[in-house]
Amino acid sequence: MKQHQEHVEKLEKVIKESDVLSDIEKSMTLEKIAEWKLEDKAFSLLPSELEKLSEKIVPILEEIGLL
């Protein structure tokens, strides 16, 4: 569980620093991650759900080892 939390925190940081995503995409993505954290969604769903928001997320997920 702790490893999942670390991955989510790393993902949030990379999204905030991304120069590939627009500010709107960053905001929507971070909002969804926050919502899923509150709902305690299974970590395994996170990459596929984020991919639905924007195909630009895929390289970010690959970069941090989630895909």
Percent of the chain with pLDDT over 90: 25
Separation between Cα atoms, residue 65 and residue 48, nearest integer Å: 14
Report the pLDDT averaged over residues 14-23. Answer: 92
pLDDT at 40 over 80: no
The domain locations on the chain are 2-63
Give the range among 22-31, 40-49, 52-61 with minimum mean pLDDT: 40-49
For the cut 70, the answer to whether the pLDDT of residue 43 exceeds it is: no
Please count the other Cβ atoms lying within 10 Å of the Cβ belonging to residue 38.
8
Residue 44 clears pLDDT 70, i.e. is over it: no
As a whole number, mean pLDDT of residues 2-17 equals 84
